[in-house]
Structure 1
Amino acid sequence: MAAAAEHAGGETPVRNGGDLAVETLHALGARTVFGIPGQHALGLFDALSRSPLEFVSNRVENNAAFAADGYARATGEVGVLFLSTGPGALTSLAGLQEAYATGVPMLVIASQIPLSGLGARRKGMLHQLDDQKASAKNVTKAQFTVHHASGIPSAIQDAWADAVTVPQGPVWVEIPQDVLLGEVMVPPVQDALAVPYDHPPRAELVDESVRWLKDASRVAIAAGGGVRRSGRAAMESLKDVAELLQAPVVCSPGGNTAFPWEHPLSLGGWVEDRVVTDLLEDAEVLLVVGSALGEVTSNYFTLEPRGRLIQVDAEPRVLETNHPTLGVRADAGQMLAMLADALREAGVTRAQREAGWHGRAAADVVAETNARVIARLDAQDLGRERRLMADIRAAVPAGMQTYWDMTIAAYWGWNCWDAQDGEFHSAQGAGGLGYGFPAAFGGALGLAHLGRTGIDGRVLAVAGDGSAMYSIAELAAAKQHDAAVTWLIVDDGGYGILREYMEGAFGKATATELDRPDFQRLAESFGVPAETVTVEDVRGALERAFQAEGPNVVVVQTRLAMWAPSHLGEAPEV
């Protein structure tokens, strides 16, 4: 292996604990590592020089976590992050919170102070925390400390298996400085295997779900990110179940693309529209798959199902937390496949259920509901916002992956963005600012590693001017690594969504207005091409940017508004 390479002087370098770490990662299939070097982590970075792993040099640890997250979402692989002790580790936590909340598989290797200082409080030891692992507990699935070099391969292998087991998420492994630097007698790692644990649904829960579903005239489905993460087979099974039951389907923001928007049973992503919420409440059985039915998907906890509710999720802690349900802990794809087979075996057919919605076909009710959503938008002064979203969609190729920061455009995107053959990624899991550009940067590098070049490998990031300032330093990283990412910055001079909330609640906004740089000139100072355009020119600017190479920036100076929700409790016309 590369670890056996010789120094310029002809001597074989001494292998250390860092070598065991990077060798294990490579054996597990890792190709890319994100992060920033640090004093206690030097053993890791020295070992990288003898490894085929590519290191991506970020500028801020939080953005490195977002980049590893974006890489994992774009590729379906595990995102790998190297962190240094103390301040470096702590700076990453907000990024890890997003990955944890959204179920993104990541492996975090953090350095630690030397073994002699663990559990002590040595005066003057650089970067020391009382319990670094405890700091990561709220934002990672599991946390491990390795106390001897021979334990490094097993710890990383176990952590990898945990990261890819549903519910997927980041797993934290910390290795003390002296363990990373110490000479090892363990031979080079040649193979490693990390198999995810299986979570099939229990047979009696499948049977009970089928009994509820086949006896109900009106079934509706809310599809979440768990369906999407289960892959194309899960999406096909969802379509089978929906068609057998003639069930309208709405996708959560995380579930975007789980169900095709052009399907006659599709309610798109309008989970925040009361008209759609009313339809879900009217169902005799509401089937929620791969979603916690959390704040956004439940229309800010206003959803009150009048019928029975079946909730399927790989994370047992979300089951029955917001409503009484038949809770099924399972991978969404496995449950949907079993439901489709069981419904067919039970004799359920589409023809039996054509007029199940109060004597009307489900497709007619869906079409009417979608028309009412559009009519409500038509009645509001939202021409600028709707044009911007339509023009972005028109410019973006059907297969392009997009990454959205916490900005008004993303709030629109949660509901109205049809990802088509691409992927829609946003920070709605934890809702932290600064996600969009570094995640897109990581995603672009991941697609390049998959062999996608030109416009086929380009991604789009969308952010506001407030969130852009969280990640502006990563323009240097994108330039250094020649990432094919286009960054659309919607510059409205402040924290736009918070301005909207405060003006709506209090009649005025406080502390939302921001001085900011000239984003075009700032991007150009990094050597990144940029242009500033009006709302009317966004489509053309994006189309030009997508044809270019490397990173680029498009700035649109405009102030966007949110739509007004329809009235709570408005009864659906059925």
Structure 2
Amino acid sequence: MTRIGGDLVVETLRALGADTVFGLPGQHALGLFEALRRAPDVRVVSSRVENNLAFAADGFARARLTASPDGPVPVTPMIVSTGPGALLTLASLQESRAASVPVLGISSQIPVAGLGGGRHGYLHELPDQQASFRDVVKSVHVVRTASQIPTALREAWTTAATAPYGPVWVEIPQDVLLAPVALPPLSAVAASPAPLEPLPELVAEAARLLAGASNPVILAGGGALRSGSRAELIALAEALRAPVVSTFGGKGVFPWDHELSARSWAEDWHTTELLADADVLLVLGSGLGELSSNYREFAPRGRVIQVEADLGKLESNYPALGIHADVRLFLRALEVPVRAADGRAEATVSTLLARVESRLDSQDLAVERRLLADLRAAVPDGAQTFWDMTIAAYWAWSAWPPDGAPIHTAQGAGGLGYGLPGALGAAASGVPTLAVSGDGGAMYGLAELATARQHGLDVTWLVIDDGGYGILREYLTDAFGSTTATELARPDFVALAESFGISAVLSTLDTVGADVAKALRRRGPSVVVLPAVLKMFAPTHLG
């Protein structure tokens, strides 16, 4: 057997730690897929559309990060072909970048002679394919010879696994992938991401401010979750007696029912005021962007300490003591005196949650609240959940108790179509998953029912059918009194799923909990369709 460039790619990925590759073949990528065929210890998970393939790779990485926060960073390879195939991954890679998910995108390229711009007449040719990816991923690497393959992949892997995690992109020309290689087989390629340690003087200043605070509050974001800092965060909150608010991206980093957990009602004015009232607000792994700041309504009245692995996010929205560091390493370096529990923080949290509850009670939201409760009761501990950009997901951002059943959403970049392919990727990692989509978002991923069936993945897909883009219907109606282009023709989802050989059921609001629970107990893919029109809770501001 003659080893080719594709073999060198697969050997390098295996040496770096990959055991699963998400791939969709293309003409220029034949050398990669022949190499995967020759590698029985590397699993290939396919897809039907490249953007869904990238979402699946994202879901696989998130599931492994969640299941093993102390393990190696689960950089997840994804292989696509040149031009149209590559470009279809962009929106998905934007989500991975926004949510700090380590995906290694590998694309074939036209032959080396055609690189460098111009129009050479190759199929799928772009004048500068890598330019499309530069501002989406963390780094772009272009290989021109076989000897460059191991180092380029190692550098890309290292970048993806360095805090803040994120997607990277490697391009390898068709002729390099197909050409025989003289390099010996590789088995000892290792990536060593540098730890992002905080500067000790800044840690000391943060400790001084927190020790002197009379009303400290902690806001824990996605960076805290990605760093695996749950134990350290609990210890700090209990030492400071500080309430902890989780951003939507940080859900799960702090125990939902802990006496200091102010949960994640980021779009509630009472929560916004809790953060603003802190004399020292410690922001861990959040850029205090649009959602975390309640659409810029948040206005801190005390000092802000912001710990963030993404240098560009430091003080990008609010003045702060900015500390560029991995959250977990910062928390391990931070030393604060332990305060005696006097009940004030617990009372603050209790009062806040009671106010949130009262606000919801004042609106006609029994259907939505019951649905979330029924779904959470249906999902067993150990399963993971993936949510599309749909009204139920907007509720879940705030209301879903994540302990035992982690939640993953596309709110980083906010694109439609994430739920099913993300869940398929997680299921490929070995965990049962629930995907939740609206009928609008579901149409983005219908082809992946074939993927679920082909690979026998343990995914239950709940499609909430309200006849259109429900959240956009609400936004347009609230803003203009009418809607445009939100009402959608859609298929019979039950019949469609059954045509793929997948078990499906038409549910009701009264039976959906039991239907989802039953589906999750069944091996392989299942679909539950719920015809229901949901609505959002109304934003409420004090005064």
Q: Same fold (TM over 0.5)?
A: yes
The C-alpha deviation readout for 1:191-234, integer Å capped at 9, x for no partner, is 11001111111001001101111111011111011111122xx2
Partner of 1:9: none
Deviation for aligned residue 1:538 = 0.5
Query: Counterpart of 2:302 in structure 1: which amino acid?
Result: G
Partner of 1:435: 418
Partner of 1:100: 97
Partner of 2:171: 174
Structure 2 contact 114–120 (Cα < 8 Å) conserved: no
The answer as to 2:55 corresponding to 1:49 is no
Deviation for aligned residue 1:123 = 4.4
The answer as to 2:268 corresponding to 1:269 is no
- Where does structure 2 lack aligned partners over 5 or more consecutive residues? 66-73
Distance (Å, rounded) in 2 between the aligned partners of 1:173 and 1:38: 16
Partner of 2:275: 280
Distance (Å, rounded) in 2 between the aligned partners of 1:245 and 1:548: 45
Partner of 1:14: 2
Deviation for aligned residue 1:120 = 3.5
User: Which of 96, 107, 112 lines up with 1:110 in the alignment?
Assistant: 107
Structure 1 contact 398–419 (Cα < 8 Å) conserved: no
Deviation for aligned residue 1:306 = 0.6
Query: Counterpart of 2:128 in structure 1: which amino acid?
Result: D
**Secondary structure of 1:410 counterpart:** helix
Partner of 1:372: 355
The answer as to 2:370 corresponding to 1:387 is yes
Distance (Å, rounded) in 2 between the aligned partners of 1:298 and 1:201: 25
Distance (Å, rounded) in 2 between the aligned partners of 1:561 and 1:167: 35
The answer as to 2:64 corresponding to 1:75 is yes
Distance (Å, rounded) in 2 between the aligned partners of 1:508 and 1:366: 39
Query: Counterpart of 1:535 in structure 2: which amino acid?
Result: L
The C-alpha deviation readout for 1:264-312, integer Å capped at 9, x for no partner, is 1111111110011011101101110011111111111110001110000
Partner of 2:300: 305
- Where does structure 1 lack aligned partners over 5 or more consecutive residues? 1-12, 356-360, 448-456
Distance (Å, rounded) in 2 between the aligned partners of 1:63 and 1:466: 15
Distance (Å, rounded) in 1 between the aligned partners of 2:208 and 2:378: 46
Structure 1 contact 399–420 (Cα < 8 Å) conserved: no
User: Which of 226, 229, 235 lines up with 2:230 in the alignment?
Assistant: 235
Partner of 1:294: 289
Partner of 1:426: 409
**Secondary structure of 2:364 counterpart:** coil
Structure 1 contact 35–65 (Cα < 8 Å) conserved: no
The answer as to 2:534 corresponding to 1:551 is no
Partner of 1:349: 338
Distance (Å, rounded) in 2 between the aligned partners of 1:399 and 1:293: 30
Q: TM-score, normalised by structure 1?
A: 0.92
Distance (Å, rounded) in 1 between the aligned partners of 2:239 and 2:429: 37
Partner of 2:25: 37
Query: Counterpart of 1:55 in structure 2: which amino acid?
Result: V
Query: Counterpart of 1:493 in structure 2: which amino acid?
Result: G
Deviation for aligned residue 1:398 = 2.5
Deviation for aligned residue 1:121 = 2.0
Partner of 2:386: 403
The C-alpha deviation readout for 1:392-415, integer Å capped at 9, x for no partner, is 011111222100110000100000
Distance (Å, rounded) in 1 between the aligned partners of 2:403 and 2:260: 16
Task: State the identity %.
Answer: 56
Residue correspondences, number: 534
Deviation for aligned residue 1:422 = 2.9
Structure 2 contact 260–349 (Cα < 8 Å) conserved: yes
Distance (Å, rounded) in 2 between the aligned partners of 1:508 and 1:471: 28
Deviation for aligned residue 1:239 = 1.1
Q: Over aligned residues, Cα RMSD in angstroms? A: 1.0
Distance (Å, rounded) in 2 between the aligned partners of 1:123 and 1:333: 50
Worse-matched range after superposition: 198-207 or 237-246: 237-246
Query: Counterpart of 1:258 in structure 2: which amino acid?
Result: V
Query: Counterpart of 1:74 in structure 2: which amino acid?
Result: A
Alpha-carbon spacing, 1:506–1:192, altered in 2? closer, same or farther (3 Å): same
**Secondary structure of 1:380 counterpart:** coil
Distance (Å, rounded) in 2 between the aligned partners of 1:240 and 1:467: 40
